[in-house]
Amino acid sequence: MDCADIIQLLSDYHDGALDEMLAGPVRTHLVLCLECGVIFNDLTLIVTQAVVLREGQGIALPDENVIWQRIGIIRRAPSRP
């Protein structure tokens, strides 16, 4: 397998979705080939950081009151005591 073949497999390799017939050659290639090793490290960084995004820290949220108003569900009159 050449570098192009290996690069095609890097996501599946990262995600543990390759059987050993393919994972073995990828593993060996990544040790020997600096270029593919760099690409694999980059993908790993991206996937690791993506998990952190899930919590959405630091994202400015819109005013939920405004969007609630826009949804425009008519409130029933408050019940009297």
Partner 1 sequence: MSVVEVETGEPTDLDLAQQSAAGDVSAFETLYRRHFRRVYLLCLRMLGNPAEAEDLTQETFTHLYNKIGSFRGDSAFTTWLHRLTVNQVLMHFRRRKSRPEFTTFDGETPIQIVRGTENPGKMPIVDRLVLEDAISKLPPGYRSIFVLHDVEGHEHGEIARMLGISEGTSKSQLHKARLKIRNLIREQAALN
For the CB of residue 71, give the shortest distance to partner 1 in the complex, in Å. Answer: 5
For the CB of residue 29, give the shortest distance to Zn ion in the complex, in Å. Answer: 6
Q: Give the one residue of 2, 31, 34, 80 binding partner 1; rule: CB under 8 A.
A: 34
* 3 sits near Zn ion (criterion: CB under 5 A): yes
* 16 sits near partner 1 (criterion: CB under 8 A): no
Rounded distance between C-alpha atoms, residue 16 and residue 68, angstroms: 43
Element (H, E) at 68: helix 64-71
Exposure pattern of 7-21 as b/e (b: 16+ CB <10 Å)?
bebbeebeeeebeee
Question: Under DSSP, is residue 7 helix (H, G, I), strand (E, B) or coil?
Answer: helix
* 36 sits near Zn ion (criterion: CB under 5 A): yes
User: Quick one: 56 or 81, whose CB is closer to partner 1?
Assistant: 56
